[in-house]
Amino acid sequence: MFPPQCGGCDRIGTGICDVCLPADREMLSTTKSLHVRALASYEGQARRAILALKDGRRDVGGALGIRLAALCATGMILVPVPTTRSRKSVRGFDGAELLARSAASASGATVLCVLSQVAGDAQRGRGRSARLAARGRFRCSRSLAGVRCVLLDDVMTTGATLEDCAATLRASGAIVDHAIVIALSEPGR
Ligand SMILES: [Zn+2]
């Protein structure tokens, strides 16, 4: 086995180092209906580390998830935003699910994998207005009547995907008004 290596700067020892992702930093944003908490802007070393996760680096994902635990709490129910089946099969795992499981084991939260994508990866390569218009791409596998949950993803760009997931969860009865991500791609929005 290879030793863990920082996804941001290649330093040996951990999947993400304190230089690339400083601890105790939190950023806030909002979408139409959600408060979004993040650890970083999607740029520089933090972006490089997230791209390493997207490339299949489990050690980086595990370490990023442990950092996300700072935004979680015991008993919190985390719902990861699912990636498409095709990308999952290329990578061998679901990035947001890996982040959620790592964050949950480090914080005492619970992971609920109830969302799946119905249509392909429709967001990629589309313009901003098309992304904002996309709806109904997710389905929820069970009733969540009265269950309070928090969405979790790697990056938020426009927030359209988070809104879409939140709408799907609410249609299943869940209460959802928060999301947690590693990085904000358009901070301040
Ligand atoms: Zn680093």
Cα(45) to centroid of ligand 1, in Å?
A: 7
Which residue is associated with the tokens 């901070």? 187
Cα(131) to centroid of ligand 1, in Å?
A: 32
Cα(65) to centroid of ligand 1, in Å?
A: 15
Q: Residue 114: what residue type?
A: V
Q: Which CATH number fits domain 28-40+61-184: 3.40.50, 1.10.3470, 3.30.960, 3.20.20?
A: 3.40.50
Count of C-beta atoms within a 10 Å radius of residue 136: 11
Q: How far apart are CA 100 and CA 150, in angstroms?
A: 10
Name the percent of the chain in helix, strand, coil, to the closest 5.
Answer: 35, 25, 45
Cα(161) to centroid of ligand 1, in Å?
A: 28
Q: How far apart are CA 73 and CA 55, in angstroms?
A: 29
Terminal Cα-to-Cα distance of the chain (whole angstroms): 42
Cα(9) to centroid of ligand 1, in Å?
A: 4
Q: How far apart are CA 103 and CA 62, in angstroms?
A: 8
The answer to whether 91 touches 54, Cβ cutoff 8 Å, is yes
Q: Can you give the pLDDT at residue 123? A: 53
What are the boundaries of each domain within the chain?
A: 28-40+61-184
Q: Tell me the mean pLDDT per 10 residues along the chain, length 189.
A: 88 94 92 97 96 92 96 97 76 90 98 87 57 70 97 96 96 97 78
Cα(22) to centroid of ligand 1, in Å?
A: 10
The answer to whether 135 touches 164, Cβ cutoff 8 Å, is yes
Q: Residue 117: what residue type?
A: Q
Cα(125) to centroid of ligand 1, in Å?
A: 29
Q: Kindly list the distances between the CA atom of residue 24 and the CA atoms of 38, 71, 121, 141, 181, in Å, as whole numbers in the listed order.
A: 11, 10, 33, 35, 15
Q: How far apart are CA 161 and CA 61, in angstroms?
A: 20
